[in-house]
Every structure is written in C-alpha cells, then in structure tokens.
Chain A
C-alpha cells in the first residue's frame, strides 16, 4: 500500500548501493559517538582532529581499494596491493635516503613498482591465461621478497629528511592520503560510470564471452585494470612512506585482504560485474572508523581483529538479504 514512494525508495537503495553503504557509515559513527561520549566533556571521537586521523589512515587503504574494486568489477582479484605498497615505500625510501635523489624523482621511480606489478599481473592473466588469484599471488610473493632483499632486515628512515611540517602545494602532509582518496574516488567514479572504458570493464566482469562477442577487447580491458590497480597501490604506498616517514619491507602486511573486504563491503561482487569505486572508498572509511573507534574503547585491544572480522560478515549478510528480497519480488 505504501505504493510508489516506497518502491522508489527501495530502488534508490538497490540502484545506488553507495547510499546504503554511506548509511552504515553514519550509523557506525553514531554508535561510537554514544559509546565514547562522556557527559560534560568534549567528545574524543567526534572532533575535527580525530576526523583527520581517520581520513589519514583510511586514505592509505582507500586509494588502493579504488584499484582493487575496478579489478573485482572486471571479474578479477588482486592479492598484490600489500606487497606493492611495501616495495614502493622501500624503493622510494632507498632512492631518497640512501641514494640522495630528490623526493619527486624517488617518488616517481617508486610508482614504477606498481606499474611493473600491474603489467606483470596483467600479462599473466591475459597472455599466459593464469587465474588472477594465482597471478597476483605470485606477484605478491615476489614483490614482498624484493622488499626484504633491498632492506636486508633494516629500514629507510625518511622522517629525518622530511620535516614535521612538510607540505605539498601548501597542504600539510597528514591531509594528503584522505584528500587524494576523495579526489581519485571522484575521478574514477566518473571513469567507471560515464566512459566507454568503464562500461566495458563492467561488461567483462558481467559476462566475458558476451562482452567479447559484442566487440570488447577483453584482454586490453583486463590488462588496463591490473595496470591501474598496480599504480594506485603504489600511490597508496607513496603516501604511506611520506606520512609515516619509513620505507620498510614489513609494512602493509595483510592489507590486500582488508582492501578486498573494503570493496566487498562497498557493494562489489567477487563474481564480477557489480560494485563501485565510491562503495570501495566508503568501505575503507567504515573500516577506518571501526579501527579508530575500537582503539578508544579501553580493554578491547585484543578483541579488535575479531570484531572487524565479524563486522565484514554481518555487513555482507545484510546486503545478501536485501538482494534476495529484491529478486523475490520480481
């Protein structure tokens, strides 16, 4: 009886998954606000400083998640981002600290790490025709291994060469991951929704054969997403190196799975064809807020991982239920 309005409301959620993901984020913020509030004192959770902190950490995941979600939408999977991030910090760190290169040059060469990773993964998937899981698992191992070989158990300390109040284009260091994430999210959202290539990426993930029969150059599209995925992972590594001031082989350990989880929470389907860049970024923010909030609740240190794991499953279950409801009414 609720009629058209209700239907339109439902459609809004199923068509624009980002809205329901954003609602979950708002709900999450509200929950932490109430848990952490202390009457008569300024909230330690809901304030500008903490907000910037959340964006700073989420940004590192989020930038890589943009690429990962594109790969997932194209029907692939990428296990390499964590290793790419680590090797990027190491390469940039070494060139900047040990070889005395200028930061822009070191950073540019650091980005080559991601470009190579994307090209190798893309080559293995499209030309050698290995499954994406295996291709990127291989890249992950080799890249992480290279990072350890270069550092030889040590690390490159960028922080003493980058002053505390380092800024780029007048914007302080700590704002960069979050700003970059938002900027790239807008660019790539536009790319995925409004360009020919974006549409072809969705088509390849939805039904590779039908896309091929429609004239899509499937190999090129796949290569492209792995390349972009690698570059974005490297960019994420670069921000990590500059913000943290370190180039270490054991950084970003396990990030690949957190990044995939962020994409899935943001609405991507691991069977391909579905998902969005915005969703993946919102997913990263959900995890960022969760980690930040949990760390402020005393006595939860050892429970953090368990809670994060459960939240992923619960969000995806809720999502599955809404999808099922939708197909039943058809």
Chain B
C-alpha cells in the first residue's frame, strides 16, 4: 500500500508538559488507521497538529512523500484533511444545508446560491445515508443524525484524509453500524481514515492498522491481524489489566432501598429492592428510561406514582439534600452537564455536596479553608485523582480524573446507596479498571450499588444481578453471569433475536 501520510519525529510540549515526543508512524492510502491511547496519551494533540490548530515544536509531516506545513485550519482543508469531532459542533438554529456550507457558502457577490448548494448537500447526505431534506433545522435532529451531518460536512470538501475523533461516544449500536458502513464506503473511494476511539471492539471491527500512543510516545503500529485485545490494552496502559474480573464472594445484607410501583417521566411501574453489599446493574437501550428512573429515585425528577423507601423511611417526597443526608448519592450520566462546576477548582467541586448537606467535618455554617482542604485531599487520595492539587482547574483534568471528582464528591459522604449512571463513559481503560475496582470495593464494604450502563460487558463484569428495562418498563431481572448476555439483549430489544456479533 502506498504511504499517504507520514508523521516524522513530531514533538510538542505545552509549558512543562511533554504532549508528544518524537512520534513517528505512517498511514497508508485508503486504510482505516486506528489511533488509540489513554486520555493524555497525545492523540488529540497530534490531531490538532494535523488540523493546523497547534504547531509542532519539531518534526515533519509528509504527504505523498513531500513535506508540508499545516499552519492553520484553512491550510489543513486545502491539503485535504477533514475532521469529525466527538462533540456535536453544529448551529441548532440553522438548517442542515446552512451548517454544511457554514463559512464556505456558495455565494458569489454575497448572494446565496441555494439551488447549487442543495444539489451538493443531497449528494453528501446520500453518502452518509441521511434521507432528510437539506432545509431541515438541525435542532429537530436526533444525536445520531447530527453526527451524520458532521460526517457529511467533513466529506463535503472531498478530503483525502478524514479524522474521526471518538465518533461513537454519542451513538447507539444501530447508528454505529451505519457509521461503519460509511467508513467502508469512504475507504473504497481511497479516502484515508484516522480513527480515534476508546472502544476496543470497534477498533477490531473497523481498523486495518492500529497505532498506540502512551504518555506522548509512540508505542507501536501494527496490522490489526497481529493484535488482540489483551495485547492492545497492555500496550495502552503499559501493564496488564483484567476488565472482566468478577467479584468472588457476595454478601448481600438487608434491603436498603425499596422502589415500589414507581412511575415518572419516561418510565412506569418500576419495582425492585437493593440490598446492602450488592451491585445491581441496570441494562437497556438508550431511551429505555434508565436514567430517568435513577434520577427520579434520587429526587432530581418528579415522581408521578409509587414510593421510594430508604431504610424503612418513605423518602418519595424529600429533597435531594435530604436524601443525600440520609445516605443516597447519584453520579449523573453526563459529568460535564450535571456533574462538574467548571468555574470552581477541584477542591470546591469535591466539597460541594458536603457543604450543601452540612457535613460535619466541613462545619455546619462557616467553611474554613483548612477543613475543606483536608476533606478534598482525602477524597483525592482515596480515588487517586491525578491533579496538580486541590486548587487545580477541573478543566485541566483528564476525563477519567474528572469522573473521579464526580464520584469523589459523594464518596466522602459515605453513602449507603450509591447510584452510578454510566460511570465510565468516555474515559480510558486504566481509569475504567480503577472505577470498576472501586465499585466492587464499595460493595464489599456493605454499600448498595446501582450501576446503569450501556456497555453490556461492563455490567456483566460488575453486577451480581441485572435489571433490564425497555420503553420505560422493567422487563425482568437476570443473573450477572456471562451466560445471561443473550437473555439481556432479548429482554432489552424485545425480540427473540440475539445480538449480532462479528
């Protein structure tokens, strides 16, 4: 295969941090090249250098064997580089068409040529299999459809290289399949794909070659045939990890949380019990009402019927603060949206629930610096949060450490019922294993854990039993064993078919 892109000895540092040191590898034309590594490995820095957002301190980029400099994003586009971002970066108030052409409208003398643009738009929308009129406002689209629009936008300029930056973090299984179909089609057209992801399964499904980065260094580039999951994980984290470790002994105690015929926005008639010391998983497709249910149990959303009992006490109509005081905690699904306050430093984030609930070691009325400092430091130590200190900006932390902050702010209150909604979404393998171990450890201490996750392997590895939801109803309960995987999918999807696996 002809070499299309060569990265030669690229080095980049920010302040005192070495983000990339002498990274070299090459990408063949028309191949799907996966770029993986933990958060902070240097993937995004490399991507930003390719897109002209950062300039390297040293090293060369070669296209078709000749050296190029990407001094700004416009130059990147001229060179035929396109990118699909992880987050949705579209203007909701504008139409698909307007978003596609944003900044490069076909508008000689300032007048928009809508007809021509519409023809072009239809072409690329066909390619990404989005059968919607180009004039549809983007705000009416689902997350998956928005992601397709972003891909269409990248394809519009007929790029020779498309970078996908964790494109599936917001997608459902179905949409992932159509994404892969698009990538395969691009590949046929000799378009080179750089695919960045945390999800190992995806990489084995789509990639031809894998490059692993760790701590800004190039660890290796290998054809996918020479790779296996264990080897990949080991290259990424530099140590061996077992993500499928199961908990041996389960000592379930008395029922702590009782949910009786609970109904709310997006779900109805949910009934279950949670015992001290057990880990209960909640499975279901996106939109099955899982998050709505746990948020209602925590008091974030209104109850329309039924009862929630914590230690024999009816807490159905109590405030979040009251529930937290009585020993309940929730780590929300979206840490950026509902978990962290970015205008506050790590220490202030960690102590917030403690301050709200008047936790004794923080003082009931006045917050003293020293008490808060001790409180935050303890949480940082327990969770091994990597940050420059309690005064670090939350923004400067990696995804995994940010998630640990969200867990840590509740952990210090020693909750007896700990609900975690997607506790490892978008974080790297190392942090994921740590969080899994933490969940097991907390259960061993006798806390009742309720874990919601879209990742079945995660639920199977963690849970003693799994509740399966579909369309707002509790479909059944299955054991937390590997053997039950098909049973779970059957309940979650509602057909007799088992999940297709490659």
CB pair A213–B332 under 8 Å, yes or no, is yes
Q: How far apart are A324's CB and chain B's nearest CB, in angstroms? A: 13
CB pair A203–B340 under 8 Å, yes or no, is no
Q: How far apart are A155's CB and chain B's nearest CB, in angstroms? A: 44
Label chain A's interface by main secondary structure.
Answer: helix
Q: A212 to B364, alpha carbons, bound, how many Å? A: 19
**Please, which residues of chain A bring their CB within 8 A of the CB of B358?**
196
Q: A196 to B395, alpha carbons, bound, how many Å? A: 24
CB pair B343–A205 under 8 Å, yes or no, is yes
**Please, which residues of chain B bring their CB within 8 A of the CB of A206?**
341-344
CB pair B365–A273 under 8 Å, yes or no, is no
A214 at the interface (CB under 8 A from B): yes
Which of chain B's residues 343-387 have a Cβ closer than 8 Å to chain A? 343-344, 348, 352-353, 355-358, 364-368
A199 at the interface (CB under 8 A from B): yes
**Please, which residues of chain A bring their CB within 8 A of the CB of B337?**
207, 209-210
B319 at the interface (CB under 8 A from A): yes
Q: Using A196-B358, A215-B319, A217-B321 as known contacts, say yes or no to A210 and B366 having CB atoms under 8 A apart.
A: no
CB pair A330–B393 under 8 Å, yes or no, is yes
* Residues of chain A at the chain B interface (Cβ within 8 Å): 15, 194-196, 199-200, 202-203, 205-207, 209-217, 269, 272-274, 327, 329-330
**Please, which residues of chain B bring their CB within 8 A of the CB of A200?**
355-356
**Please, which residues of chain B bring their CB within 8 A of the CB of A205?**
343
Q: How far apart are A205's CB and chain B's nearest CB, in angstroms? A: 7
CB pair B341–A194 under 8 Å, yes or no, is no
What are 20 A-B interface contacts by the 8 Å CB criterion? Answer: A194-B368, A196-B364, A202-B341, A202-B348, A206-B344, A207-B340, A207-B341, A207-B342, A209-B337, A210-B339, A210-B341, A211-B341, A212-B300, A212-B320, A214-B320, A214-B353, A214-B409, A216-B321, A269-B343, A273-B342
**Please, which residues of chain B bring their CB within 8 A of the CB of A214?**
320, 352-353, 356, 409
**Please, which residues of chain B bring their CB within 8 A of the CB of A269?**
343
**Please, which residues of chain A bring their CB within 8 A of the CB of B15?**
329-330
CB pair A213–B339 under 8 Å, yes or no, is yes
**Please, which residues of chain B bring their CB within 8 A of the CB of A210?**
337-341
Q: A274 to B342, alpha carbons, bound, how many Å? A: 10
Q: Using A210-B341, A213-B338 as known contacts, say yes or no to A203 and B366 having CB atoms under 8 A apart.
A: no
**Please, which residues of chain B bring their CB within 8 A of the CB of A216?**
321, 352, 356
**Please, which residues of chain A bring their CB within 8 A of the CB of B320?**
212-215
**Please, which residues of chain A bring their CB within 8 A of the CB of B332?**
213
A sample of 19 more A-B contacts (CB under 8 A), given A214-B409, A330-B395, is A15-B391, A195-B365, A195-B366, A196-B365, A199-B355, A199-B367, A202-B341, A203-B352, A205-B343, A207-B340, A211-B352, A213-B320, A214-B352, A215-B320, A215-B356, A215-B357, A272-B343, A273-B341, A273-B343
Q: A205 to B343, alpha carbons, bound, how many Å? A: 9
**Please, which residues of chain B bring their CB within 8 A of the CB of A273?**
341-344
Q: How far apart are B71's CB and chain A's nearest CB, in angstroms? A: 18
Q: A206 to B337, alpha carbons, bound, how many Å? A: 11
Q: A72 to B393, alpha carbons, bound, how many Å? A: 21
Q: How far apart are A24's CB and chain B's nearest CB, in angstroms? A: 22
**Please, which residues of chain B bring their CB within 8 A of the CB of A203?**
341, 344, 352
Q: Would you list the 10 A-B pairs with minimal beta carbon distance, nearest first?
A: A273-B343, A206-B343, A215-B321, A206-B341, A215-B356, A215-B320, A207-B341, A213-B338, A209-B338, A214-B353
Closest A residue by C-beta to B356: A215
B83 at the interface (CB under 8 A from A): no
B396 at the interface (CB under 8 A from A): yes
Closest A residue by C-beta to B345: A15
Closest B residue by C-beta to A75: B343
Q: A196 to B391, alpha carbons, bound, how many Å? A: 19
**Please, which residues of chain B bring their CB within 8 A of the CB of A272?**
343
Q: How far apart are A254's CB and chain B's nearest CB, in angstroms? A: 29
Which of chain B's residues 318-333 have a Cβ closer than 8 Å to chain A? 319-321, 323-324, 330, 332
Q: A216 to B355, alpha carbons, bound, how many Å? A: 9
Q: A202 to B351, alpha carbons, bound, how many Å? A: 13
Q: How far apart are B265's CB and chain A's nearest CB, in angstroms? A: 16
**Please, which residues of chain A bring their CB within 8 A of the CB of B355?**
196, 199-200
**Please, which residues of chain A bring their CB within 8 A of the CB of B352?**
199, 203, 211, 214, 216
CB pair A194–B300 under 8 Å, yes or no, is no
**Please, which residues of chain A bring their CB within 8 A of the CB of B323?**
215
**Please, which residues of chain A bring their CB within 8 A of the CB of B367?**
194-196, 199
Q: How far apart are A21's CB and chain B's nearest CB, in angstroms? A: 18
| Most-contacted residue by chain B among A203, A209, A214, A272 (CB, 10 A) | A214
